[in-house]
A and B are shown apart, each in its own frame.
Chain A
Amino acid sequence: MNRPPRALDPRAFPGVASAAVFALVFLYLPIAVTTVYAFNGGEQALVWEGFSTRWFGYVLTNTAILDTAVTSLQVAAVSTAVSTVLAVAFALAADAMRRRGSALASGLLAAPLVIPEIVLAVATLAFIRMIGLTPGFTALVLAHTTFCIPFALMPVRSRLQALDGHVFEVAADLGATTWPMLRRVTLPLLTPGIVSGALLAFVISMDDFIISSFLSAAGSTTLPVYLFGLIRRGPSPSINVVAVLLLVLAVLVSTVTYLAPRRKRTSR
């Protein structure tokens, strides 16, 4: 191991390393506690009675939890697919509309990131009622698609910016027209960004609670909405397990999006 060339002399800021480690411990301690207690065999969330995976078995056979998980997966699958297609199309066209207010358009797409979620939630509920829809699966998909677009867009755009534009010029000079170019050149090169974007959209949709809680109806309750109801009744072993399963999803998605661009870069 050679010393990193950019390492700052630690004498200059003696407290920085310990403060940084403290912040990391702060970030991981609570989720570590939850993870440990998910493997508790006892009847109570916080009274340790030995290692066991029995609550995983319980959760994975609990129809109420599974039904809401299926609803969440369905909403997330549709919203992810639609928002990813829309985001890729937008990213590829934004270049051509630079003068037509691409900044304004990007701002519009990013708006769900800045509007407090509770405001967007009640506003969407009011809007859904206004256009004659009722809360339910369709309303969930429409709202999720909207707030997934900025997340699907971010990695696609940064991938597009990182690409060497000459590739497209060469392909065009070799006679590639719009569709063959898209299918054979652009989309393959953008794949890592598209995959990252789709994964982020998926996890954002799976995790959403506030907007979904206003748009869920009986029969279309998503997992987070159901989980919130459980949590309000206080800690329980099955919540620990659901929490860990959702944590695994976050770890998977973060790791894949972290590795995706790297692998491509080294293979080129």
Chain B
Amino acid sequence: MRATRRAPGTLPWFASVPALVVAALFTIGPLVVVVAFSFMTRPPTGGGVVFRFTTDAYRSFLFTKDFTGQLRFNPTYLQVFATSAMQATVTTVVCLLLAFPLALWIATRSPRAQGLLVLAVTIPFWTNLLVRTYSWMLVLNENGLINRVSRAMGLGSHELLYTPLASQLGLIYTFLPFMVLPLYSSLSGFDFRLAEAAYDLGAHKLTVLRRVILPLARPGIVSGILLVFMPALGSYVQPVLLGGGKVLLIGNLVAAQFGDSRNWPFGAALSVIILAVLVAGLLVVRWWARRTGTTVSISL
């Protein structure tokens, strides 16, 4: 008789401890520290914090002190948040519009072709973020592909690089695979002859789309939205490299507080606000998933 009732081939529970300790230390630990730092005082010079409790960091998100010492409402940072939310929303919507036909098309190919097409989507997914972003610098450059074609057609040159549009395009490009993969995995097991049957039985194609395919894709759509929107909200690389400093997103604002601006408490407070927004979003999604009976998993 074996001492434990463990399933054969598995390890005792304590084998999971090292992974959990590492994750707890370097995921939960930093989050706890960042919450703590957001309530601390900025030192007179340099980075870091002084251990004295204050809510100044949060107050300065919405208010500035004018020269008389009065607090005045200052929407600057709120606007940065709004711009970021807007860019993340546009990214999510455009990715969904591009990814849905691609995922549907892949899911209706032969099994062999499906494998190869998924590989084709995975390669850009695993390609270095900087490489993908840099590639758009080459495309949008004044001597880049688009401007060359435009000049050849007699339409002249356009300033494309270092614009908000370039930053937006970079975000869409970066996150497209994050939308395609979960959409595909929710569509891939489906027997599309059923959709065809509905069509043959006289259902309008939009009805087939709305009543058969969309409900099927719903879990994939939700995880795709989460996987695109959440990282896009905190994006940092694309606004710098493609937006050329003309776009300030919340991610850049956070980075600046820990870099040039040397205001760690404010940077920490901004991080906490981002996390709070995301947790609120996740709770809404969970509530919705429970109500509609949709399974939502944040994985590819």
A contact residues vs B (CB 8 Å cutoff):
4-9, 12-13, 15-17, 19-20, 22-24, 26-31, 33-34, 37, 45-47, 86-87, 89-90, 92-97, 100, 105, 108-127, 129-131, 142-143, 145-146, 149, 153-154, 165, 167-169, 171-172, 176, 178, 181-182, 185-186, 200, 203, 206-207, 209-210, 214, 224, 227-228, 231-232, 234-235, 239-240, 243, 246-247, 249-251, 253-255, 257-258, 262
Contacts and interface: CB of A to CB of B under 8 A. Distances in A.
B141 A235 contact: yes
Contacts of B25: 146
A130 B51 CA distance: 12
A119 B234 contact: yes
A94 B209 contact: no
A117 B7 CA distance: 37
Contacts of A109: 19-20, 23
Contacts of B118: 258
A27 B177 contact: yes
A96 B13 contact: yes
Given A168-B8, A207-B128, A12 B195 contact: yes
B251 interface: yes
Nearest to A253: B126
A8 B18 CA distance: 48
B75 interface: no
Contacts of B33: 123, 126-127, 130
B102 to A, nearest CB: 4
Interface stretch (B53-61, B65-73, B214-222, B268-276): B268-276
A14 B32 CA distance: 52
Given A23-B99, A24-B102, A127-B30, A93 B8 contact: no
A108 B176 contact: no
B130 A228 contact: yes
B139 A87 contact: no
B20 A90 contact: yes
User: Which one of A8, A169, A171, A178 has the highest number of Cβ atoms from chain B below 10 Å of its Cβ?
Assistant: A8
Contacts of B132: 30-31
Nearest to B103: A20
Given A46-B143, A87-B19, A116-B233, 18 more contacts: A6-B192, A8-B196, A12-B205, A31-B124, A114-B282, A115-B31, A116-B251, A118-B251, A121-B255, A123-B30, A126-B30, A130-B33, A146-B23, A182-B11, A209-B130, A228-B130, A246-B128, A254-B126
Closest 7 CB pairs of A and B: A116-B234, A168-B9, A4-B110, A123-B30, A30-B135, A20-B105, A19-B101
A108 B106 CA distance: 33
Secondary structure at the B interface, as helix, strand, loop or mixed, is helix
Given A105-B16, A165-B9, A126 B176 contact: no
Contact of B298 (A17, A96, A114, A121): A114
B81 interface: no
B138 A34 contact: yes
Interface of B: 2, 4, 6-16, 18-20, 22-31, 33-34, 37, 48, 98-99, 101-102, 104-106, 108-111, 113, 115, 118-139, 141, 143-145, 173, 176-177, 180, 191-193, 195-196, 199, 205, 208-209, 226, 230-231, 233-237, 240-241, 251, 254-255, 257-258, 264, 267-268, 271, 274-275, 278, 282, 298-300
A33 B138 contact: yes
B37 to A, nearest CB: 5
A145 B98 CA distance: 34
A90 B296 CA distance: 23
Nearest to A258: B119
A79 B9 CA distance: 26
A122 B130 contact: no
A90 B18 CA distance: 8
Contacts of A227: 130
Contacts of A112: 27
Contacts of B299: 110, 113, 154
Contacts of B109: 4, 7
Given A127-B33, A165-B9, A246-B131, A16 B105 contact: yes
Contacts of A6: 108, 110, 191-193
B12 A96 contact: yes
A130 B101 CA distance: 48
